[in-house]
Amino acid sequence: MASPAPALAESPAPDRRPRVGILALQGAVREHVEAVRALGAEAVLVRLPSDMAGLDALILPGGESTTMRRLIDLYGLREPILAMARQGAPMLGTCAGMILLANRLADDEEPVLCLLDATVQRNAYGRQLESFEADLDIPAIGDEPLHGVFIRAPVVSELGPGVEVLARDEADRPIAVRQGRVLATAFHPELTGDRRLHRLLLGMIDR
């Protein structure tokens, strides 16, 4: 039996803090919690469908996408996440979160959420030893470069027509994209003190 759809919060009142869920099954959870709280929003750890009630937005963090896929299904979270998306809740996927959001994977693995019209290639820069950092130009968040941390990072190899590219790597491959209210990055913005991508997510919440 499918899990019931979580009730989305109504548009936050001016005096109510937005409630942002962070999928807390595995991966870089604490850093996203700190980023959300630094912007004055309420961070909610999501492990079960009941944790999603009243959320205004959802973050899918970096980590091990295969493990996260298994735990999403084990705890019955797939349909509640999709229901949130259908109701217009903004979502941000970082690194493994980008893989979870994509509707096509380059290695022919079955996609998970299919909320982003893109083909994503896992581990596009190599394994853990090839991790690196780079300053990225992302005009959608301002003129100052954002410092990106790439750890076993994916890239987008194909884009659907409705997907906007926010940033590219030196090989001109998309590493930050937006489709409607879905944001996805190949890198980890939460591992720096720069909160502009999290602020962009909060700015997409209906008010």
Each residue's pLDDT tens digit, 58-80: 999 999 999 999 999 999 999 99
Q: Does the residue 87 lie in any domain? A: yes
Q: Is residue 74 part of a domain?
A: yes
Residues 6+ apart with CB under 8 A from 184: 92, 93, 94, 97, 98, 101, 102, 116, 118, 176, 177, 178
Element (H, E) at 42: strand 42-46
CB 122 within 8 A of CB 102: no
> How many Cα atoms sit within 13 Å of 193 on the Cβ side?
0
pLDDT at 125: 84
What are the backbone dihedrals phi and psi of residue 182, each rounded to the nearest 5 degrees, phi first? -110, 120
Q: Find the CATH number of the domain harbouring 193.
A: 3.40.50.880
Please report which confidence band the pLDDT of residue 153 belongs to, taking 50, 70 and 90 as the band edges. Answer: very high
Judged on CB neighbours under 10 Å (0-12, 13-18, 19+), 34 is middle
**Would residue 1 count as lying in a domain?**
no
Residue 138's domain comprises 19-203
Nearest to 150 by CA among 176, 119, 172: 176
Residue found by looking up tokens 């869920």 in the block? 21
Look at residue 14 and tell me if it is in a domain. Answer: no
C-alpha dihedral over 95, 99, 105, 106, to 10 degrees?
0
Active site residues: 95, 188, 190
Q: How far apart are CA 127 and CA 202, in angstroms?
A: 32
Residue 13 lies in a domain: no
* In-domain check, residue 2: no
Is 43 a residue whose pLDDT tops 80? yes
Residue 101 lies in a domain: yes
Q: Between 164 and 16, where is the model more confident?
A: 164
pLDDT tens for residues 69-120? 999 999 999 999 999 999 999 999 999 999 999 999 988 789 999 999 999 9
Which has the closest alpha carbon to 205: 95, 84, 61, 116?
A: 84
Name the domain count of the chain.
1
Tell me, yes or no, whether 7 lies in a domain.
no
